[in-house]
Copies of this chain bind each other. A is one copy, B any other.
């Protein structure tokens, strides 16, 4: 599937409801954080045994991420790939292999 199709579906959904007025950069970012909290609730007491619930909450996080990306004119997959290059440099294989240590302590 391509992002363009999701973007069109989201734009239509928002336009039908006249919701763009609520979608400031700041409100979308708060919404990403709120939905991430609901996703986290799935594992509040340990691994979740309800994959449908995790899927629904992850979809909510992604939805607000995509709305924010679209508002800012970014392609989500493109910015992930670009950031991956930065992270590669911060975590060189020979230093980071098999370790979860943060880059500034490697």
Chain A contacts to B: CB under 8 angstroms: 1-3, 5-6, 9-10, 13, 16-19, 21-22, 24-27, 29-48, 51, 54-56, 58-63, 65-66, 68-69, 72, 74-84, 86-88, 91, 93, 96-98, 100
Contact = CB atoms under 8 A, between A and B. Distances in A.
Contact of A41 (B10, B34, B76): B34
A9 B35 CA distance: 26
Contacts of A76: 58, 62
Contacts of A30: 30, 40, 43-44
Given A3-B3, A19-B96, A61-B61, 20 more contacts: A1-B77, A1-B78, A2-B77, A6-B77, A10-B84, A17-B91, A26-B48, A30-B44, A33-B37, A33-B39, A33-B40, A37-B40, A45-B100, A58-B65, A58-B69, A59-B83, A61-B65, A62-B69, A62-B76, A63-B84
